[in-house]
Amino acid sequence: MINSSVDWDKFAIAAEVKRRGKTLTSLALENGLSQSSCRSALIIPVPSANKAIALFIGVSVHDLWPDWYREDGTRILGSGSRPSRTKSQVQQDAA
């Protein structure tokens, strides 16, 4: 397991994946994801890809993306670059 006190930014994450002998594209494909999923996961929350990267590196998703995931690994809704929608907004869209 890697030291979780590392300041993980998208460049450090990508470098660690490469240091361990993989590309983000190959990691995505090996996990049944689209080839761009892991690259996208560095800038926006993509839970399946974020989890694949974290597992490969050996660090929790919370350590890599503390603004997106809680310590227990559950997603913090409304985080990331996608705007959150309230239940009433979803119901209005459905009407």
Q: What pLDDT is attached to residue 7? A: 81
Conformational region of residue 78, where left means phi above 0, alpha means psi within -120 to 50, and beta covers everything else: left
Contact 54, 6 (CB under 8 A): no
Contact 14, 24 (CB under 8 A): yes
Residue 90 has pLDDT above 70, yes or no: no
Over the stretch 15-46, which tens digit does the pLDDT of each residue have? 999 999 999 999 999 999 999 999 999 999 99
Average pLDDT on 66-79 reads 89
Average pLDDT on 2-13 reads 79
* % the chain with pLDDT above 90: 73
The amino acid that residue 83 corresponds to is P
CATH number, domain 10-94 = 1.10.260
- How far is the C-alpha of 87 from the C-alpha of 70, rounded, in Å? 22
Name residue 75's beta-bridge partners: 69
